[in-house]
Amino acid sequence: MPLDPAVKAVLDILDAAGDRQLHELPMPLARANYDQLAGLGGEPAAIGRTERTTADGVPVRLYWPDSPGPHPILLFFHGGGWVLGSLDGYDGVARDLSAHADCLVVSVGYRLAPDHCFPAAVEDALTVAKWAMRTGDAYGGDTQRLAVAGDSAGGNLSAVLVNELPGRFRAQALLYPVTDQTRKHPSVRENGQGYLLTEDTLRWFSENYLGDQDPRHPWASPLFAADEVLAAAPPTLVVTGEFDPLRDEGEAYADRLRALGVHVENRRYDGMIHAFFSMRGMVPAAGEALRQVTDFLQEAWTQHT
């Protein structure tokens, strides 16, 4: 399939702005530019309320839908290569997930590299998950109906969290997740230039996050987790994009889970690039992906209730 016309329009706008690649910018500017991409999400859905708090020291933002509870709880981890991304930048995505999945979203402001390298982000994810399991009821959540979701690096953290806490989550929704930081898959080369996320930027992310740590550590690359760990995963949705350099590793993760007997839904969105889920204001397929994610979560939450 060719590049989707709406995606091409987004890339043309970014090209016209003349910005350098994220890895070529000073860190404050790279972070600001990354958060500005959230403006492509358009007007977010209306929800009931939000609240900033801390989960045993980790900043989080809570989002309640405009409906009576208790609500299932979705832990959401933003993308940005463990280097970029923020609660503010993903505010619209979190609102959309809360409204459309009718759930309490806990958006996690985990520590970022290079100031806080691997495994700081994983440690923060585990801290927030245990906090939510312990205190979620007090916030109007249903701790028996927990799920995780995240995009890119956030998808990586979601997968690692599920693997570390087996049996605690009803579902995981992984949006073009990082699952293999060895970067051996063909799509890294095929789609590594001209489609927003580049091979050089991927390398920069990993260098800042991992440093000299083993990229095959299961906390860095969940594709390398043991069979018995992956076999315990809950129902899993993996979303990938045709022109995303992370396409193949996301699909490899879905294939491995499926081979181990996990219920897996995997869709490759034709014509899409990395980060398209955050572009709902300009890219119609992003709205379709949002519906797929929220329908998947709601179905998982209604099983065995």
DSSP 3-state helix, strand, coil percentages of the chain (rounded to 5)? 45, 20, 40
* 274 catalytic per annotation: yes
pLDDT of residue 112: 99
Reduced to 3 states (helix: H, G, I; strand: E, B; else coil), residue 23 is helix
pLDDT of residue 41: 85
Tokens of 132: 């939510």
Q: What percent of the chain has pLDDT over 70?
A: 99
* 23 catalytic per annotation: no
pLDDT of residue 84: 98
pLDDT of residue 32: 93
Tokens of 223: 């594709």
pTM, entire model: 0.97
pLDDT of residue 304: 57
* 244 catalytic per annotation: yes
Q: Tell me: the pLDDT tens digits for 155-198?
A: 999 999 999 999 999 999 999 999 999 999 999 999 999 999 99
* Catalytic entry in 71, 78, 185, 274: 274
pLDDT of residue 39: 72
* Catalytic entry in 78, 244, 248, 278: 244
C-alpha separations of 112 from 117, 128, 251, 276, 294 in Å = 7, 15, 26, 22, 27
pLDDT of residue 303: 86
C-alpha separations of 31 from 79, 144, 174, 193 in Å = 12, 36, 23, 20
* Catalytic entry in 98, 107, 152, 221: 152
Flag residues of the chain having pLDDT under 70: 304-305
Superfamily of domain 5-299: Alpha/Beta hydrolase fold, catalytic domain (3.40.50.1820)
Tokens of 248: 């193949």
Amino acid sitting at position 13? I
pLDDT of residue 252: 99
pLDDT of residue 18: 72
